[in-house]
A and B are shown apart, each in its own frame.
Chain A
């Protein structure tokens, strides 16, 4: 039993929970975030990494589109080191016609999204890899965002403003007294009390709420994605038609991400999401319409995440269900005070979701503190990056971490360990210290180790040894290599042919006798 009573406990360490704990901390509330795994381990780390301009929703969901463009502008400002300002193209193929495009441009402009029609020839000059048969193109302010870095930045800022983060600890039940939720019970057996408990656990929210007697109709919608080993386009490439499967290609760091699908799946499957060969076939078929050279581009991984959609109509495939923000005040909705749910929404709109949730929390707690998250830069984006005498080995780190590099020791840790992404030893030490990294899977979420072209095939031994040393136990390097290879294997098997199969044989010959 913890003696301390928090103002707020937030359940879930994805982007929604991270943004909410930051908002609460900035408003001076004593706040605890509890996450059963690592930060950004669920849907927040398994998506496109697309910072929506809102254009995709302009035709079908005006409100969602307006939210996106507002938040898009805010994140470019407050999270500049997480966002790459790629811009986006919506291309029309002959079978799409141009009627949709005309309406699309009109609706974008109504929602305040700049949408500029571009001559197909000019579009092909800008992006030579796109389908040469395009009959139209529209430029919009889409961008690429690194979800891991974005969530990390929120968590860091929250901690620096006094919030507590409890990772690898599950909330097993909500504790009620006289009909009011007064805290949570954790997997470690502790009861931690708070004046308000906020559920921000994505698709896992419904189960927790149900145990407390609250029914939230949620529909897990699976989305599968493929990572290609190169950046085949500079901009985000979208299909200018009614949103469908595999019609967005997003450049991110040194790779391109193609997605996605949208299929209703049972809740029980959400803990073990992976892309199936059928999904890969579908993604490839559609993706090659967008950018034909994808047929010859090496696939490095396939993966899947699950959208926490809230049911309005239980039928259908999930694409027509509300992707809007859902804020539930269970005091007024269900007569259970002390409990709030924030869900739905998108990676792009997480800050806004947090603002809405925190406004409600403040109202309940009688605080008049105003939201500052839209104007305060996140760690990494705070002012100018310090200058280094010899920045070659730090150049990638500076791009990734911005002003946070001032907390990294490049004198001791200047060695580049991951050559694809130029990840330095200093970043590993930083991740261990700042994020409590325990193993290679954690490390992948907080650095870009093993996420580049070689996917760790060349560097993982070195990285494992460095991590084991940073954790103070060199004997664990072998265990880290084994764990990494199995995780990599999970991503490779759905796309195991061609160059990926070549790489698989290489991996087996090099590592199998070693482990």
Chain B
């Protein structure tokens, strides 16, 4: 099945983007694992998912984008956990809206922070002691980490712009 836009992440930012695109008449698919931090505070994404479905958006609830396929500087498909390797989802355009650490949009170990779906370039300090401020109430550097984009908003992978991939919400760096 081919979409105009696939949005990876069905939290606050992904839903907002999907609503906008659906209203403009695009054929949209949202892949939502269901881990959304903004919804802890505000509104469960499920109530918004129902609205999206009414507006004709395909919402894959409980599914997760495992891996993006990139060929010649473009995303050509996304493999999801439930559909598997044999059935990649394809679209003209892809939007990364997977959030930061809580929702596993960014993964980390002692030395690294990475974006697991596309391997997008992440803006962070390699020195772990610089990831935080000792004062809990101060601005925390890790809250500003995110994927790098070029001037047009295209996500960078290995320093190269991916022309049909953008990012919205917490996954973006500041």
Q: In the bound complex, do residue A508 and residue B41 qualify as a contact, i.e. CB atoms below 8 Å apart?
A: no
Which segment of B18-26, B76-84, B135-143 sits at the interface?
A: B135-143
Q: In the bound complex, do residue B37 and residue A281 qualify as a contact, i.e. CB atoms below 8 Å apart?
A: no
Interface string of B96-112 (1 = CB under 8 A from A): 00001110100111100
Q: In the bound complex, do residue B140 and residue A508 qualify as a contact, i.e. CB atoms below 8 Å apart?
A: yes
Complex: how many Å from CA A497 to CA B108? 6
Chain B: residues with Cβ within 8 Å of the partner, total of 23
Known: A493-B132, A497-B128. A509 touches B41 (CB 8 A): yes
Complex: how many Å from CA A126 to CA B59? 47
Q: In the bound complex, do residue A277 and residue B129 qualify as a contact, i.e. CB atoms below 8 Å apart?
A: yes
Which segment of A227-235, A405-413, A498-506 sits at the interface?
A: A498-506
Complex: how many Å from CA A482 to CA B128? 25
B window 1-40: CB within 8 A of A: 37-38, 40
In the complex, B134 has a CB within 8 A of chain A: yes
In the complex, A43 has a CB within 8 A of chain B: no
Residues of B within 8 A of A277 (CB): 128-129
Residues of A within 8 A of B37 (CB): 505-506, 509
Known: A497-B109, A497-B110, A510-B40. A505 touches B136 (CB 8 A): no
In the complex, A496 has a CB within 8 A of chain B: yes
Residues of A within 8 A of B132 (CB): 493, 496, 504
In the complex, A512 has a CB within 8 A of chain B: yes
Known: A281-B110, A493-B134. A505 touches B129 (CB 8 A): no
Q: In the bound complex, do residue B38 and residue A509 qualify as a contact, i.e. CB atoms below 8 Å apart?
A: yes
Q: How far is the CB of A466 from chain B (nearest CB, A)?
A: 22
Q: In the bound complex, do residue A508 and residue B128 qualify as a contact, i.e. CB atoms below 8 Å apart?
A: no
In the complex, A515 has a CB within 8 A of chain B: yes
Residue of B nearest to A485 (CB): B136
In the complex, B46 has a CB within 8 A of chain A: no
Known: A489-B136, A512-B137, A515-B137. A501 touches B108 (CB 8 A): yes
In the complex, A486 has a CB within 8 A of chain B: yes
Q: In the bound complex, do residue B135 and residue A486 qualify as a contact, i.e. CB atoms below 8 Å apart?
A: yes
Residues of A within 8 A of B128 (CB): 277, 496-497
Residues of B within 8 A of A488 (CB): 136
Q: In the bound complex, do residue A486 and residue B108 qualify as a contact, i.e. CB atoms below 8 Å apart?
A: no
Residues of A within 8 A of B136 (CB): 485-486, 488-489
Residues of A within 8 A of B40 (CB): 506, 509-510
Q: How far is the CB of A185 from chain B (nearest CB, A)?
A: 35
Complex: how many Å from CA A488 to CA B143? 18
Residues of A within 8 A of B140 (CB): 504, 508
Q: How far is the CB of A297 from chain B (nearest CB, A)?
A: 13
Complex: how many Å from CA A503 to CA B132? 13
Known: A493-B132, A496-B128. A482 touches B137 (CB 8 A): yes
Complex: how many Å from CA A284 to CA B109? 13
Q: How far is the CB of B86 from chain A (nearest CB, A)?
A: 30
A window 458-515: CB within 8 A of B: 482, 485-486, 488-490, 493, 496-498, 501-506, 508-510, 512, 515
Given A496-B132, A501-B101, A509-B102: 10 more A-B contacts, CB < 8 Å: A277-B129, A486-B135, A486-B137, A489-B135, A496-B142, A503-B102, A505-B102, A508-B143, A509-B41, A510-B41
| B residues with CB within 8 A of A | 37-38, 40-41, 100-102, 104, 107-110, 128-129, 131-132, 134-137, 140, 142-143
| A residues with CB within 8 A of B | 277, 281, 284, 482, 485-486, 488-490, 493, 496-498, 501-506, 508-510, 512, 515
Closest A-B pairs by Cβ, 5 of them: A489-B136, A497-B108, A505-B102, A505-B101, A502-B101
Interchain residue pairs with CB less than 8 A apart (19): A277-B129, A284-B110, A486-B135, A486-B137, A489-B135, A490-B134, A496-B131, A496-B132, A497-B131, A501-B142, A503-B102, A504-B132, A504-B140, A505-B37, A505-B100, A505-B102, A506-B40, A509-B37, A509-B38
